[in-house]
Amino acid sequence: MDTLTISLLTLKIDEAKEFNEGACFVVRTQTGVYAYKNRCPHRGTPLNWLPDKFLALDKQLIQCATHGAQFRIEDGFCVWGPCEGACLEKIEVKVEGDKIILPIV
């Protein structure tokens, strides 16, 4: 599988970044690095409201820009909104040293 490597230093804690031309995104928190397809399970629209802007204001959850569904960062589970109980599609991500290794999908 082809991979993409980005520096951990370019992704601050509580920030997100698009990859695969916006089809996917990665989020870094205090507890780890998580990646998902950029597709809301409610209507299939992209989640972000601006480039790289995927998180709610308090940065504790991922928030869909279309109808406001909110998802846990750690597992993509929807805790609030029209698709409550659904999950974002998770992407395996590896962290090796100061590098984040992501699949090209």
Binding mask 39-68 for ligand FES (x = CB under 6 A): -x-xx-x------------------x-xx-
Q: Does 76 bind ligand FES (CB under 6 A)?
A: no
Q: Which is nearer to ligand FES, 6 or 52 (CB)?
A: 52
Alpha-carbon Rg of the chain, whole angstroms?
13
Query: What's the CA gap between 9 and 75, in Å, rounded?
Result: 23
Residues 1-30 that bind ligand FES (CB under 6 A): none
Q: Which is nearer to ligand FES, 39 or 59 (CB)?
A: 39
> What are the CA-CA distances from residue 75 to residues 7, 11, 22, 61 (Å)?
22, 19, 20, 11
Note the residues at the interface with ligand FES (CB under 6 A): 40, 42-43, 45, 64, 66-67, 69, 81-83
